[in-house]
Amino acid sequence: MMINYKEQIAKILVEAEIGLSLEEIKEIIEVPSDSKMGDYAFPCFKLAKVLRKAPPMIAKDIAAKIADNALFEKVESVNAYVNMFLSRDAFMDHVVSEIVKTGKNYGRSEMGKGKKIIVEYSSPNIAKPFHIGHIRSTVIGNAIYKIYDCLGYETIRINHLGDYGTQFGKMICAYRHWGNKEDVIKEPIKTLLSYYTKFHVEVETHPELDDEARATFTALEKGAPEEVELWQWFRDESLKEFNRVYDMLGITFDSYAGESFYSDKMPRIVKELEEKGLLHESQGAQIVDLEAYGMPPALITKSDGSTLYLTRDVAAAVYRKEHYNFDKNIYVVASQQNLHFQQWIQVVELLGYEWARDCIHVPFGLVSLEDGTMSTRHGRVVFLEDVLNRAVEQTREIIKEKGVNTESLEETAKAVGIGAVVFQELSNNRIKDYVFSWNKVLNFEGETGPYVQYTHARACSVLRNAGEDLVNKASQLDNIDFSHVTGDAAYNLAKLMYEFPNVIIDAAEKYEPSVVTRHLIDIAQGFNRFYHEEHILVPDEAEKLAKIALVKAARDTIANGLGLLGIKAPEKM
């Protein structure tokens, strides 16, 4: 177990009898932004009232009292602050040994043991393109799943497919007018998209097509065999295409229960709303009035009696609670849907389900194209598969140009190309909108996925050059003298790695994978600074072993961090 240094310092300060509790002290302890001011600092302003002294005097007294503690190399008082410098030898020994011992499990914990989390993400629409806009929900959701899984939660991944609704009436209608089976089998999504686009062009001059599409969807809802068969076929063909992209991204799901799955579960919800007196009629439709909560009414059934997304989402949440008994039900869905989520979660609460607030909407900003927004109706989309393939192609060319010695060119090109796309996606704060640019995605310079992967490969190369015997010896941690790795670069790298488990917890609490991404860049930069400033494979064996142990710790931490983001860590690049 890694020592909690903040807690240790707080205990030392409690023993110094400064008149504050352990928890109060922990709250006040700071980590200075400038390491010249120590590893930890304790401001004494709060003690002025208690001890009736000026803060600089209090800081001087405390520094004198705790200076001899073995945890510290030195303790200084600067104005109203007590600045504490940890004993570097002991810190390096503890941190590096702990990471080397835990290896691939470094960062994992059991804080979520016995708790169940659902993460719903990706959720593309059947028979429509899996486009660049879907990458956000897909990779943010996958990273959130991996982060919670790493913290010991039982985590269920749900792909809530958009496989229901009036668009299927339009799609079936368009297929009957202009479609043929061979084209759909050859290129399902692109072909079905072309039919859907044609429908929206034709309906301008033939408005009767809309009535036909509505009638077709009603037949589908009522289980008409021919419509159901076409719908099932579109669904199966679309899933084959989607799975090709999921395979490229290394993503799998535990359930593909989409919108259609909940169709027979909605009447119960409507009945419960009726029984609780929550339903009101408005222009023939049934609504739940949410004015008291500062929201427009929630539309439950349309005037023709058909149900809506909101009803379906309430039914889905109730089913998930009863089926999985979740502790948290997380939805990774674009910020455009903020009001929709606020409304249906409020409806669940009004129904008397005390777990309503365990349903959490994790919103994210939108992706637009450099020449405007995407539109499925007008066929203006960038296919996600094309983006991934182009990234792999470009990476393959770069590897060939640089003459990189890799066992498998194809595997490395895939790991780095796809990793670049995913890392770039996860390096922005999720709530920010951004414009998709080929140049940005395929730029491998600077703070990018390939930079972090290359740092991992560099650490692997150092360990290969050290030789298996020395690496094994360093891994056994027998009598390693860590005083050989107490220079600033080595020490700062170890401090960054020490924070890694806390970063994972922070990312989980904020539902924000970019917290991990940014920290990985810091670790990679820290490792490269150490690599450039210190000669690692030196003649002196004691020094060499300490440095090999540090390199191994860095390699494992970077690989674990990339793993949380759903990115591979190549050993050669």
CATH number at residue 30: 3.30.1360.70
Mean pLDDT of 169-175: 94
Which of 30, 51, 86 is at the close of a domain? 86
Question: Is 509 a domain residue?
Answer: yes
* Predicted pLDDT at 440: 76
* Predicted pLDDT at 121: 98
* Predicted pLDDT at 402: 81
Task: Name residues whose C-beta falls within 8 Å of residue 147's C-beta, 6 or more positions apart in sequence.
Answer: 504, 507, 508, 513, 516, 564
* Predicted pLDDT at 545: 97
Tell me, what CATH number does 500's domain have? 1.10.730.10
**Which is nearest to 422 in space by CA: 211, 231, 136?**
136
| Number of structural domains in the chain | 2
Q: Is 378 a catalytic residue?
A: no
Instruction: State the Cα–Cα distance between residues 296 and 292, nearest whole angstrom.
Output: 10
Instruction: State the Cα–Cα distance between residues 313 and 212, nearest whole angstrom.
Output: 27
Enclosing domain of residue 44: 5-86
Q: What's the pLDDT band for 380 if we cut at 50, 70, 90?
A: low
95, 502 in Cβ contact below 8 A? no
Order of strands across the sheet with 359-362? Answer: 154-158, 116-120, 328-332, 359-362
Mean pLDDT of 132-144: 94
Looking at every residue in the chain, the average pLDDT score rounds to: 93
Question: Is 428 a domain residue?
Answer: yes
Q: Is 134 a catalytic residue?
A: yes
Q: What's the pLDDT band for 438 if we cut at 50, 70, 90?
A: confident
Which of 43, 68, 86 is at the close of a domain? 86
Question: Is 487 a domain residue?
Answer: yes
Question: Is 477 a domain residue?
Answer: yes
Which of 48, 63, 86 is at the close of a domain? 86
Mean pLDDT of 208-227: 92
Instruction: State the Cα–Cα distance between residues 386 and 145, nearest whole angstrom.
Output: 25
Question: Is 92 a domain residue?
Answer: no
Question: Is 335 a domain residue?
Answer: no
- Catalytic residue, candidates 46, 60, 94, 134: 134
Question: Is 127 a domain residue?
Answer: no
Q: What's the pLDDT band for 215 if we cut at 50, 70, 90?
A: very high
Would you give the DSSP letter of residue 74?
E
Residue type, 194: S
In 269-385, where do the E strands start and end? 279-282, 285-288, 298-301, 328-332, 359-362, 367-369
- Catalytic residue, candidates 60, 94, 131, 519: 131
Instruction: State the Cα–Cα distance between residues 357 and 556, nearest whole angstrom.
Output: 37
Q: Is 131 a catalytic residue?
A: yes
Mean pLDDT of 132-147: 95
* Predicted pLDDT at 573: 83
Provide the 10 A C-beta neighbour count for residue 368: 15
83, 75 in Cβ contact below 8 A? yes
Q: What's the pLDDT band for 374 if we cut at 50, 70, 90?
A: low
* Predicted pLDDT at 399: 85
- Catalytic residue, candidates 128, 328, 414, 519: 128
Q: What's the pLDDT band for 377 if we cut at 50, 70, 90?
A: low
**Residue 174 pLDDT more than 90?**
yes
87 burial type by CB count under 10 A (0-12 exposed, 13-18 middle, 19+ buried): middle
Nearest-10 crossing angle of helices 449-466, 541-564: 150
Task: Record the tokens describing residue 184, joined without a space.
Answer: 């759909």
CA diameter of the chain: 88
Question: Is 76 a domain residue?
Answer: yes
**Residue 350 pLDDT more than 90?**
yes
Q: Percent of the chain at pLDDT above 90?
A: 80
Mean pLDDT of 418-439: 89
